[in-house]
Chains A and B, each alone.
Chain A
């Protein structure tokens, strides 16, 4: 199956591993609603290189999906707005490029798969039609050509009996197979970056693993940069190179995956780790993080995590902590007392 890679589009050259692809700098996203301004993402910055997997972790409402929408340029507007920041893909500023070029980049250079593969696929078109649409619209392929390409892609994402099933509709597939269809569609034009927004959350555990393995294998083949958005720490641990931890629209910790898992610095990261069941080691009780994520309409003053933080002191509710390096830790963390807590 690895041999089919270059037949998709021979003109398209895979990037070299390590080649910088995406540079997000100081991006904020706001939603202007009747109830007030929702600050979904504040001052977000990160880089992504070819072959790299970046995991954005956070609870629901932490701004991780909005981040993905901002990169794709599909933040619903109105009410959405990106008041500041820049998103650069290779040598182009995605906020500045004209609509036509934006559409070119969207889907062809940067593609995305979504959380729920049933609702994310159009129920009234066959999966072959939906995958083939990429070739018909962006490459001017005929219906027959598009169909052949669709079958090729379905085989590539390991959907059994692709030729027989190409005309079937989304509801005729299982959850895992639907997500494979989504992946096939996203990978149709060999994007350099794939954003996967909770790709396995709606699936059961064994299927989750298969989907993650598939994404991993496809990344090996094509050297694409992968942005994995999830709240599942287990999924992240097995595939991510770099981890970005978000809380209430801000990045609170960022590091390479291994040191992050070994010993994170932010109290929120500690809380997350302690609330996940582990197979090995102690019979410690799971410790949930008390409280719930804040409403983005009324983000707590200072450090947004302070109402839930067991270590919170006066400065925490007065001053917003910024990402900084601390001694003895390779990543950056936004916590006033990171040294003491990690110490």
Chain B
């Protein structure tokens, strides 16, 4: 187990190097240069221009710039936004909590509604409730996020006026709609995954053994079947949480939430490469960490994994 963990952690290093190089060089492939963008319409005085170039190492070859940047990243410094004159770390620290709250609530929706729907469907396989779950999840998967977002804003926010349309002014209440929109797609996947996995598990011999032991039906399902059936579901949700924590560009933008995705979207528009590269790198790190946790969790949930 320890060796597996170490090997798994070491694997993160090449993945991170590859991802960071891709992101960094992609930023350079974009037309325009950040110093002229800083000046906007007016040309900058030569001295200012040189000072900026010097400060951001822009006179060095791309590869050296990358190495220099990565050196800073290793010390925990993700650079500085030229446009906003703030460190990336600061901007991230300010926006990440909003994204985190949104992601956490979205995962709660996935867990509660998705799992419940999946379990009910599996236990009533072929019956009305099963078909209802199958049809509604297909619809949920098919609707684009922005369509769902705008529709819910209009119906729930404008027509019924039960929840705020956008922004974060009303705390938890403000998060309900965007979190639901953000979680819908994964919720549908969770429901379907749970249904398939549980239906398959219910046919396993050890479920029959549990019945033969004279256990209550609820215990046969809950302790013996679900404990096995939920292993793939939990790993899916873990990976999904990793992805959601990296920022939800569409949802945060529609609902005007000052989160990682919202700022990333704005930075792409303003060519603020430092934010784009910095935020994406942090998102990659979060994702890699989550998938590491999920892998270790998987081994903890399924004792057979450790020895294979």
Contact = CB atoms under 8 A, between A and B. Distances in A.
B170 interface: no
Contacts of A112: 212
Nearest to A119: B205
Contacts of B302: 123-124
Interface string B67-89: 00000000000000000000000
Given A106-B213, A114-B205, A126-B303, 10 more contacts: A103-B216, A112-B212, A114-B208, A119-B205, A121-B209, A123-B206, A123-B302, A124-B227, A124-B303, A169-B304
Interface of A: 72, 74, 103-108, 111-112, 114, 116, 119-126, 133-134, 137-138, 169, 171-172, 182, 185
A106 B304 contact: no
B250 interface: no
A74 B304 CA distance: 28
Given A123-B302, A124-B228, A172 B307 contact: yes
B212 to A, nearest CB: 5
B304 A134 contact: no
Contacts of B213: 106-107, 133-134, 137, 185
Nearest to A115: B205
Contacts of A134: 213
The main secondary structure of chain A at its interface with chain B is: helix
Interface in B199-258: 204-206, 208-216, 219, 224, 227-228, 231
A120 B304 contact: no
B301 interface: yes
A222 to B, nearest CB: 18
Given A119-B204, A124-B301, A114 B216 contact: no
Given A105-B214, A111-B212, A124-B227, A119 B206 contact: yes
A119 B304 CA distance: 13
Nearest to B303: A169
Interface in B271-308: 301-304, 307
23 contacts: A72-B211, A74-B211, A103-B214, A104-B214, A106-B211, A107-B212, A107-B213, A107-B215, A114-B212, A119-B205, A120-B206, A121-B206, A122-B227, A122-B228, A123-B302, A123-B303, A124-B303, A126-B303, A134-B213, A137-B215, A137-B219, A171-B303, A185-B213
Determine which residue in B210, B211, B304 has the highest number of CB atoms from chain A within 10 A of its CB, and name it: B211
A74 B214 contact: no
